[in-house]
Amino acid sequence: MFRSINVTSRIFERQIRTPAPGTSVHCARRFYENIVPSFTVYDIECPDHSFRKFTDDGQYLISFSRNHQDLIVYRPMWLSFSCKEEDCCRHDLPPKAKRFESFFTQLYSVTLASCNELICKDFFLSMEGNQFGLFATSTAQIHDAPTTGRAIQGVPFIEKITFHLLRLEDGVVLDEKVFHNDFINLAHNMGVFLYDDLLAIVSLRYQTIHILQVRDLGNLVDVRTIGSFCREDDELFLISNSQSLATSERSRLNPFPGNQVGNGHNQVNQDDSFLSGIKQRLLSFIFQGMWNEETDQAMRVQSLKKKFFFHFQDYVDLIIWKVQFLDRHHLLIKFGSVDGGVSRNVDHHPAFFAVYNMETTEVVAFYQNSAEELYFLFEKFCDHFHATSRNSLHMNFISSHSNNVYALEQLRSIKNKGGSFSQV
């Protein structure tokens, strides 16, 4: 079918014609065949800022000052210069085309960091519709940190980490969330994941997943905390249970009510030997999976000795590296060693993936990162691993090996050329 290369004609055609069912995305893509970059300007006089990225819709350019104290946001001016002649390559652009101000307009500059804090230049998340932006500031990282409470040994800590929720339209800071004496991997958004209006923040030091919700008015609201406890009333149950045990113990030691013997343990001991709630869920799922592999009782015991009890301490030593939403109820949690959790290059460290249901507090799947089943799931359902909501319109324009046969062929070609399957 003939398609005109005239922009006006194609705009008119888009208005009066309805695309065939299931082809609206492809028709929208074809429209941009007429609008392509044809000229590049070099050596632009730019402000002395650290430029981060554009928002997904291209409406805002995020940048930071060199001292990492201020946030500066620009808006593109889009088509600034054009040529009406046929041979435009021989014509030079005017001198003002060499200036940054000819292409971008500064909207505002906001100071986010205090005197002892710095903006994390590698961290930025924008909500769906780009109404809000999430930024982070933190103090210096301390490596030789003493281990207290349930803190993981070997994980550094940061005295103060602050998340700032900002309205991108005018730069107003609407809410803040502060973490003290904790460690959250802010580099390239590793420790934070956004899905629709839900926000997951991973505390590496205390192995806690904080689930927050971004309200329409710009408030950060705590939804649940997953780590030491999985349900909201787990801690209350343990406290009441410890109180009843302390009461029965006092009654056994002092059967006469007139004499008071103190004092009972009325709080849950955070330094005890109990595993965290999420770790107990994980170990239970692994045990049940190995239990169901064998039907013969003798073979079942031998299998558990070799596969579960022999590696029990290895499973206990796993820590949460990263978390992402699969949907509003399921989390994909990446586990690994302590060294891999604080390292920038984790490719050489073995890792495990668990699918966790937040509503039922159950682990529903567990894989090693070299498992064939996990690879085939990723190959077939790659779109579900994207870092944005499936309700996002721009996701329909992203080609992957799950929705594009050519991308799938390229992936399989890379797999065939690779070495071992674990490397793939």
pTM for the whole structure: 0.81
Query: E-strand spans in 24-88?
Result: 49-54, 61-65, 70-76
Per-residue pLDDT, 392: 58
Greatest pairwise CA separation for the chain in angstroms? 105
Q: Which helix (H) or strand (E) holds 287?
A: helix 277-291
* Closest-CA residue to 147 (of 160, 139, 156, 138): 156
Q: In total, how many domains does the chain have?
A: 1
Instruction: For residues 107 and 168, give the distance between their C-alpha atoms in angstroms, rounded to a whole number.
Output: 9
Per-residue pLDDT, 265: 46
Is residue 29 in some structural domain? Answer: yes
Contact by Cβ (8 Å): 19, 30: no
Instruction: For residues 424 and 39, give the distance between their C-alpha atoms in angstroms, rounded to a whole number.
Output: 39
Burial zone of 320 (CB within 10 Å; 0-12 exposed, 13-18 middle, 19+ buried): buried
Three-class secondary structure of residue 347 per DSSP? coil
- Residue 166's DSSP bridge partners are 133, 173
Domain that includes residue 33, residue range: 1-38
Is residue 18 in some structural domain? Answer: yes
Is residue 299 in some structural domain? Answer: no
Per-residue pLDDT, 264: 44
Q: How would DSSP label each residue in 148-176?
A: -TTPPTT--EEEEEEEEEEETTTTEEEEE
Three-class secondary structure of residue 107 per DSSP? strand
Amino acid type, 88:
C
Is residue 57 in some structural domain? Answer: no
Burial zone of 117 (CB within 10 Å; 0-12 exposed, 13-18 middle, 19+ buried): buried
Three-class secondary structure of residue 101 per DSSP? helix
Is residue 12 in some structural domain? Answer: yes
Is residue 20 in some structural domain? Answer: yes
pLDDT in tens, the chain (424 residues): 556 777 788 888 878 888 888 777 777 777 777 777 777 788 888 899 999 999 988 889 999 999 999 999 999 987 666 667 666 667 777 777 778 888 899 999 999 998 899 999 999 999 877 789 999 999 998 887 777 777 888 888 899 999 999 999 999 999 999 999 999 999 989 999 999 899 999 999 999 999 999 999 999 999 999 998 988 888 788 788 777 777 776 676 666 555 554 444 444 454 456 788 999 999 999 999 999 988 888 898 998 999 899 999 999 999 999 999 988 999 999 999 887 766 666 666 789 999 999 999 999 999 988 888 888 888 888 777 765 554 555 566 677 777 778 888 888 887 777 666 666 6
Is residue 6 in some structural domain? Answer: yes
Is residue 190 in some structural domain? Answer: no
Q: How would DSSP label each residue in 377-416?
A: HHHHSGGGGSSS-TT-GGGGG---TTT-HHHHHHHHHHHH
Q: Which helix (H) or strand (E) holds 312?
A: helix 312-316
